[in-house]
Structure 1
Amino acid sequence: MLDVLSQAEIDKLLKDLATGGAEENEAEAKSVAKPYDFKTANRFTKEQIRAINVVFKNFGHLLSNYLMGTLRATCDSEVLSVEEISFNEFNNSVPSPVIIAVIDTEPFTGSIILEMTKEISYSIISRVLGGTKEISAEGRQFTEIELAIMERVLWQSLKNFDEAWSKIMETSSTLEKIDTSMQFAQIVDMNEPVLMVTLNVTIGNESGLIGFCLPHQALEPFTKKLNTRHMYSGNVNKKIDADPTNIINSIRRTDILVSAIFNPTEATVRDITSLDVGDVIQLQHKVDEPLIVKYQQLPKYRASMGKFRNSLALKILEEIKGEDDNE
């Protein structure tokens, strides 16, 4: 709803129109220049930010599934924002205590930071230890045991992080260290532009924030790959060998197991346990009865047994046709 002007404001506008003051005020407003700080110049394009947003939406989905299976609780996560700021702004925005994880992701040229607020951290710790309620976080620091629990959870989460990046490039992430303060986690210069990705994670009735700090210098060699069209186009450079001759030759060189089977013979357990070396087992198979030739345990031919150049051999008599062949 529009604001209603007071009588004094109406009188001032009428006076400005009569004296020409309104035009002067408009000219002054147009002449005001906004200062541009070259130290914080934008380094990420809108297309690159959209690609990062898609990656972390996928990561949020994978993280929710992992936490749901690990904590036995309903979990959900969504990307709240993806914005470019300076590392100094990110450093000043991090509260204390907080879980800070320095992550080394190959092939990125530098480390990235994962920040997890105490609300979501204590919720995870409580459920890993068998609880269902949030641990009181007021006026206390993380213990060594709690940090060890979070370290294990973060190690498993990095697998989801790599899987989320797989549509753009193959990555391999390792956890360098885990801390509770940004004092020991300065990974780039304070004026270096970074991409701040914030996710809201809900576990049961509790929620908290997870933030990722992606320095521009770490992603700079791969900015051409940060493209949504590249993500959904698939591997266009992959060559598909559709030559039928090569396929047939490959099939012909494939090894398969061929076996000739006699009719099954029944025997009691006593007969089996009393067998000795040199004993003869009478088969329930007539001499002139054909054997069944099987390919990979599938009956294919009937054959008679004989000899060829002092070796046992089989002579194919007929093909065994199945129901599909008859049709």
Structure 2
Amino acid sequence: MEKVLNQEEIDAMVRAARGGGGGAHDQAHEAVVVPWDVRSAGQIGREQVQAISTLHESFARNLTYSVGAYLRVAFTAALVSAEHLTYGEFLQRVPEVTYLATCKLAPVGTAALLQLELGAAFPLIDVLLGGKGAGAPPERQVTGIEEQILESVMRIICRELQNTWTLLSLEFDFEQRRQPGEARHLMSPEEKTLSLSFELTVAENRGTLNLVFPAVVSNALLRKMSAEWAHAKRRALPDSSQRLRVPLLECPFRVELGIKIGRVSASDLMGLSPGGLLALQQPVEQPATLRVGDCEMFTGMVARRGTSRAAQVLERCSIAPERKPSP
């Protein structure tokens, strides 16, 4: 009598034929789905962040010298962080009362944002007006006259940025101070930016300087830096070392084979004449020393090769420790 299969048994046979198995086996091979944050696309890697940090640590040192010489007061700038943020994320960190300005990037046709905390802005203004930059800064916005005074320092910052970003041949031109409403529309909130944060110290006061660059220029900088690394690696390839080694092998060196002679009495020296012998009080089997320049390199014996004298190299001389000069 033939067995009639029900639908569940038929489905199980089909799954088995397809290698799907059933039950727990299906669950074990089920695809794992994880959420993906679209904002994580295009994030710069750790090595790129390190390269950008190294570049702008140099910018901070140059800015320290330039602004310090201009103000003639104690001034320091130090890189605090280099981050890849959306423009909206950066704006969330900006305090309500602060100094904002833009720097035009030519010939790209875009702009970078400069944000300076009042803790550094007002001491800078005070020094530029002849003060010492001491005391607590006021809790208010910068006035129109004060922003014109502060503009000279902003132009120095733009100049040092241009000197730092020489790989891109960009021109950094200070534009003007921006109100918070204008700054919000400078870029799209979703646009990726390179955010650099510096701590400025003016006399006894400290404040933060933030620089925000759009992705179009920060990515171009990373590409240029990667190209420079590749070029540097090509210059360090073994074939270049070999080309340098070949001409060096033709350099001449003074070489001599000799023995060290101990003290000889004056009477023996006075008795020397052509054809005479001078006893050196050294065993015949004691090797001579092969000197290259002023260095004892090998021990050796006098030999002959055809009609020419030669030196038979025996072993390398041990390197004696350097003697320190007596006081």
CA apart distance, 1:76? 1.6
Q: What per-residue deviation string (whole Å, max 9, x for no partner) do you get for residues 72-106 of structure 1?
A: 11222111111111111101111122111111122
Distance 2:36 2:188 in 1: 20
**Residue among 182, 185, 198 paired with 1:184:** 182
* Residues 1:82 and 2:82 are matched in the alignment: yes
One-letter code of the match for 1:61?
R
One-letter code of the match for 1:182?
P
One-letter code of the match for 2:88?
N
Q: What per-residue deviation string (whole Å, max 9, x for no partner) do you get for residues 250-290 of structure 1?
A: xxxxxxxxxxxxxxxxxxxxxxxxxxxxxxxxxxxxxxxxx
Residue 255 (structure 1) aligns with:
none
Alignment of 1:113-124 (within 5 A): 113-124=113-124
Alignment of 1:68-147 (within 5 A): 68-108=68-108, 110-134=110-134, 136-147=136-147
Residue 45 (structure 1) aligns with:
45
2:98 and 2:118 in contact (8 A); partners too? yes
Residue 164 (structure 1) aligns with:
164
Higher Rg: 2
How many residues in Structure 1 have an aligned counterpart in Structure 2? Answer: 204
- Bigger relative CO (Cα 8 Å, ≥ 6 apart): 1
2:99 and 2:177 in contact (8 A); partners too? yes
One-letter code of the match for 1:74?
A
1:197 and 1:213 in contact (8 A); partners too? yes
Residue 198 (structure 1) aligns with:
197
Q: Structure 2 stretches of 5 or more lacking a match?
A: 1-30, 236-327
2:87 and 2:193 in contact (8 A); partners too? yes
Distance 1:232 1:182 in 2: 43
Q: What per-residue deviation string (whole Å, max 9, x for no partner) do you get for residues 236-256 of structure 1?
A: 8xxxxxxxxxxxxxxxxxxxx
One-letter code of the match for 1:172?
E
1:122 and 1:134 in contact (8 A); partners too? no
Distance 1:140 1:116, change over 3 A: same
Distance 2:226 2:212 in 1: 19
Distance 1:231 1:170 in 2: 19
Distance 1:114 1:32, change over 3 A: farther
Distance 1:233 1:92 in 2: 40
Normalising by structure 1, we get a TM-score of 0.56
1:40 and 1:85 in contact (8 A); partners too? no
Match of 2:196, SS state, is strand
| Identical columns (%) | 21
CA apart distance, 1:221? 4.1
RMSD: 2.8
Distance 1:207 1:232, change over 3 A: farther
Q: Structure 1 stretches of 5 or more lacking a match?
A: 1-30, 237-327
Distance 2:199 2:230 in 1: 24
CA apart distance, 1:226? 3.0
Match of 1:227, SS state, is helix
